[in-house]
Each structure stands twice: as structure tokens, then as C-alpha cells.
Amino acid sequence: MNTDKIRIIKIVQGMMVLMFALATFTVFSTSVLAQSRDPLPSWNEGMAKSRIMEFVEGVAQEDSPNFVPISERIAVFDNDGTLWPEQPLVQVLSMLAKLEALATVDPSLRERQPFKAALEQDSSYFTKEGIKAVIDVVVTTMANMTQEEFEADAQTFIETAIYPRLNQPISNLAYKPMVELLNYLRANGFQTWICSGGGIDFIRLVSEQLYGVPPQQVIGSTLKKEYREENGKNFIWRRAEIDRINDKEGKPVGIDLYIGKRPIFAMGNVRSGGDIAMLSYSQAQAKPSLQLIINHDDSKREFAYQEPDNASLNAALKNGWTVVSIKNDWKTVFYFKYLK
């Protein structure tokens, strides 16, 4: 074999060794990067983050004693105060905007209760009159129209409204740590569902854009509806009657109705005790499960408020649920910077 051929063979062999070394390094570095990448970068190190990651890793690994099949990995989240702020409630702002539009056409609404109180934001009136007054406002602003008409009105509000105090559009309101958590769960085989006391049809318009949750995985309060045919067209008509209120004890019923399985991961927040039943329902099963309550204790970066009877935090203490402190557990709250 002549010298030139020997030189070529050595060059080729050297290139092959180099390519193998590069491939090995790439696989190794990718593995190290994957292991070192933090799936929850907006969460501070602490008990809440550790419990979440230990739970998810445990149910997702087949050799783990806590392994749960993918078909059973269901996570449910409240919306208001859990995935976005609730001081004030976004859907209340939407109803008030609709009521203002109606009052422009019919000024007598400004003098008739409960619309007068709603337009003047007189909360004491609704505290005194109770749920019936609230329902009157709900059906007036959200019913007696087609589903398409409701969605068009709601979409206009979502695209144009500015959330007070934060001075941000609705599309910017998602809590950044919660979006990371939703993505982390889905990356580990979880179905992520929203189970809210708010109106299902409104939430469905924003759930995928803000949280990556498809509309068909939203559970919420509903009006009665009916199918109609008129003038050669068919549509869904929104009747002026409440179908079901998906709050408190209604949340486990909604989960059973829409999912048919107990979730192994459930998360709500402190405000009205509205998520206690949902978390209790999740916990009462043989499979491994995790329940979390968000405590709104950060007056500078969000809003600080508690329940008068401390019901949610008391339930968390009694049942061993994980309390997530916005002040201590979240490095950042929103995708934008906000400080009072």
C-alpha cells in the first residue's frame, strides 16, 4: 500500500473517531442539560416546589412505588385567584361592561335594582340581597342571546379591556409560575383541567391562549341552553336560567360530570373556601395525590387578602395540604413587572 493511501486511511479513521467523540459528548451534554434544567424557574426553592417535583417524578416513573398510569394523571385547577388575579374578578368586569352598554340603550336600568347597585359597584346591596340579585345581573348580561353573540361580546372585552390596578390587558394576567407548573405537568403525562366557579363559556375563550388548556378541558358554571332553528339557521340559545353553579360542593360534582375520575393533583386558593371540597375530593382516594392552596400574602407584587374564618388555611393544616405563599414561593408573579 503506498504512502498516500495510508495517509488517507489515517485521516478517515481520525475523522470517524472525532465524529464518535462529538456524538458521545452531544448525548452526554444534552442529558446533563435536561437533568439540570429547572422546569419551575419562577418558583423559589422550598417546601412547595420540592413537594410538587417529588410528587410528579414519583407518579411518572414506572419503577417508582408511587407510579400512576398516564390515564389516571389528572390535575385540576381553580381559575380565579389560582391561575390569574381575582381582585376584581375578570368576569365581573365583563358583566359590568355589558351592563353599561345595555344601560346606554335603556337608561332606566340605572335606576332599577339590582342593576343600579351593580353599575354603582355597591357591594353592600348584594351582600344584603344575596344570590338572587347576583343571578339577575348574570342572566341580564349573559343570557337571551345566541352562543355566538355571547362569544363575540366576550371576545371584544377580552381583547380591549384593561385590568384595573395592574393596568394590563386581560391576555397578560396569567400567573407565570402557574403556567410553568401546567407545562411541567403536561410534560409528565398529566391532563390539565380548569375547574372554576366562573362561567365556563368565558373561560373557554382564554384557557388555551393563557394556560395551554383546551376549551374541552374547562369545567365551570353554566346557563341553561337549547338548540333552535329559525329562518333556515340553527344555533344554541342561552336561556335566562342558571343550569349549575360550579363552586364549593359543586366542584366535585362538576369533576365527576366532565371527567368521571378523581384528580390526583388539585390546586385552589384562599378567598371564600370555594376550593375546599375539590381538594378534599382529590385527597380521598387510594392513589397518590397532592393538594395545594395558594395564599395571597403579597401586597406589593399582587394583592394580600384572607378569609374571615380562615377556612382554607385551616383545612390545609388539618389535611396536610401544601400552602403556596405568593410572597415566599414565587420569584415572580406575572410576565410583567408590578410593584405597588
pLDDT at residue 290, rounded to an integer: 98
pLDDT at residue 285, rounded to an integer: 97
Model pLDDT for residues 89-112, shown as the tens digit of each residue: 999 999 999 999 999 999 999 999
Which amino acid type is present at position 29? Answer: S
Nearest-angstrom CA–CA distance, 87 and 299:
12
Nearest-angstrom CA–CA distance, 163 and 221:
22
CATH of region 40-86+171-340, choose from 3.50.50.60, 3.40.367.20, 3.40.50.1000, 3.40.50.2000: 3.40.50.1000
Greatest pairwise CA separation for the chain in angstroms? 105
Q: Choose among 165, 180, 188: nearest CA to 331.
A: 180
Q: Is this model's pTM higher than 0.85 or not?
A: yes
Task: Please list the residues that pair with 295 across neighbouring strands.
Answer: 325
Nearest-angstrom CA–CA distance, 215 and 210:
11
Per-residue pLDDT of the chain (340 residues; tens, 9 = 90+): 555 544 554 554 555 544 544 444 443 443 333 345 999 999 999 999 999 999 999 999 999 999 999 999 999 999 999 999 999 999 999 999 999 999 999 999 999 999 999 999 998 999 899 889 999 999 999 999 999 999 999 999 999 999 999 999 999 999 999 999 999 999 999 999 999 999 999 999 999 999 999 999 999 999 999 999 999 999 999 999 999 999 999 999 999 999 999 999 999 999 999 999 999 999 999 999 999 999 999 999 999 999 999 999 999 999 999 999 999 999 999 999 877 6
pLDDT at residue 26, rounded to an integer: 45
Cell numbers found for residue 321: 395540604
pLDDT at residue 305, rounded to an integer: 97
Residues ≥6 apart with Cβ < 8 Å to 333: 175, 176, 177, 298, 301, 302, 326
pLDDT at residue 24, rounded to an integer: 44
Domain ranges of the chain: 40-86+171-340, 88-164
